[in-house]
Amino acid sequence: MARRSRSSGRRAERGASVTEYGAAVVLAAVILGGLAATDIPGNVARACQDALCRLTGGTDCAKAGPAVAPKVYPPDYDRDPDKSERPKPVRPPITPPACADPDADIAWAEGLHAHNDYQNGDPLDDALKHGATGVETDVKYDPDTGHLRNTHIDYVSPPSGSLRSEYVEPLKERAEKNGGKIYPGRDEKFQLVVENKGKGSEEERREAYDQILEQTKDLPEDVELVISGGRPKDEYTVGNHPENVTFDKAPDEGCQLPDKINIDSPKYDPEYAKSFSTLNGEWGKGKCGDPDGDNKISDEEQAELDRLVDQAHRSGVKVRFWGGPDEQYRSEVGDGHFVPCQGWAAPGRQECEKAARKDAWKAQQKAGVDFVNTNHLGNGERWVRSCGEEM
DSSP letters, 42-91, are: HHHHHHHHHHHHHHTT-SSHHHH-SPP------TT----TT-TTSPPPSS
pLDDT of residue 338: 55
Q: What is the CA radius of gyration of the chain?
A: 30
pLDDT of residue 97: 86
User: If you average pLDDT over residues 141-155, what whole number do you get?
Assistant: 77
Give CA–CA dist 359/297, Å, rounded. Answer: 7
pTM of the model: 0.74
Whether the CB-CB separation of 98 and 157 falls below 8 Å is answered with: no
| Pairwise CA distance, residues 228 & 221, whole Å | 20
Residue 228 DSSP SS3: strand
**Is domain 112-385 classified as CATH 3.20.20?**
yes
The per-residue pLDDT for 119 is 56
Whether the predicted pLDDT of 257 surpasses 70: yes
List, in order, residues 6 or more apart from 12 with CB less than 8 Å away: none
Across the range 259-269, mean pLDDT stands at 96
Least confident of 27-41, 100-114, 228-242, 283-297: 27-41
Higher pLDDT, 3 or 182: 182
Residue 282 contacts residue 267 (beta carbons within 8 Å): no
To the nearest whole percent, how much of the chain has pLDDT over 70? Answer: 67
Q: How far apart are the first and last CA of the chain?
A: 108
SS3 state at 230: coil
Q: Is the pLDDT of residue 39 over 80?
A: no
- Looking at 16-20, 41-45, 82-86, 305-309, which range is the least confident one? 41-45
Q: Is the pLDDT of residue 79 over 50?
A: no
Helix (H, G, I), strand (E, B) or coil at 384: helix
So what's the pLDDT on residue 229? 87
How many other CB atoms are there within 10 angstroms of residue 318's CB atom? 23
Higher pLDDT, 56 or 69: 56
Tens digit of each residue's pLDDT (9 = 90 or more) over 149-208? 887 555 445 556 789 999 999 999 999 999 999 999 999 999 999 999 887 899 999 999
**Per-domain residue ranges of the chain:** 6-64, 112-385
pLDDT in tens, 313-368: 999 999 999 988 886 555 444 454 555 555 444 455 555 667 888 999 999 999 99
More confident residue, 51 or 92: 92
